[in-house]
Amino acid sequence: MLVLGLSGSLRSGSYNTALLQAAGRLLTPPAHLEIYTNLAAVPPYSQDFDLDSTHPAVEQLRHAISSADALLISTPEYNASIPGQLKNALDWASRPFPNNALRRKPVAVIGASTGLFGAVWAQAELRKVLTTLGATVLNSELPVPTAHAAFTDDGRLRDPGLAAALQTIVDELRHQRAARAA
């Protein structure tokens, strides 16, 4: 089982990318996580370019999503919402509607921030967008607050409750995929 990880943060040293890496450590073979690393290359969405020729980065994104069995998206919160580049990538992935790469795809949303709320608003917004696009979105959420202190030196979540919640989400995502395949 291939889980594609999308980080809504483009910066090096991203806590959301670290959260995806922590989730990847919780998957047992043959399941594994691949983090998509080319989000910054996806151009601004324009319907003018959607129909005739698509940018190679958009094709790469759509192919990565289509090839994955499930998605795990980790997002920070920018101005009480979803980071623009993540939303832009989802706009591209949503085309052509209704047979887009996200349709019926199991997706879990998690998030980390340096504040006390752990990107809860961004996670709620992202679940709304993904549901509208036709993804099968898990109801579980994982806000990781004070992310600058949330990880151990080996990249695991320091708080046992957060680590257990992340394990539950990874397990739910795997079960959602198994139920879809049956």
| E strands present in 75-142 | 106-112, 136-137
- Residue 2 burial (10 A CB sphere; 0-12, 13-18, 19+): middle
Q: What is the pLDDT of residue 36?
A: 98
**Side chain identity, residue 165:** A
CATH number at residue 111: 3.40.50.360
The dihedrals phi and psi of 72, each to the nearest 5 degrees, come to -125, 115
Domain, as residue range, for 35: 2-181
Q: How many domains does the chain have?
A: 1
Rounded distance, CA 161 to CA 106, Å? 24
What are the pLDDT digits (tens) for 124-179? 999 999 999 999 999 998 999 999 999 999 999 999 999 999 999 999 999 886 67
Q: For the whole model, what pTM was predicted? A: 0.95
Rounded distance, CA 75 to CA 16, Å? 6
Residue 6 vs residues 38, 40, 79: alpha-carbon distances, Å: 10, 11, 20
Rounded distance, CA 121 to CA 9, Å? 15
Closest CA to 169 of 131, 140, 137: 140
**Hey, what are 160's tokens?**
């046992």
Rounded distance, CA 68 to CA 104, Å? 12
Contact (Cβ atoms closer than 8 angstroms) between residue 82 and residue 121: no
What are the pLDDT digits (tens) for 22-71? 999 999 999 999 999 999 999 999 888 876 667 999 999 999 999 999 99
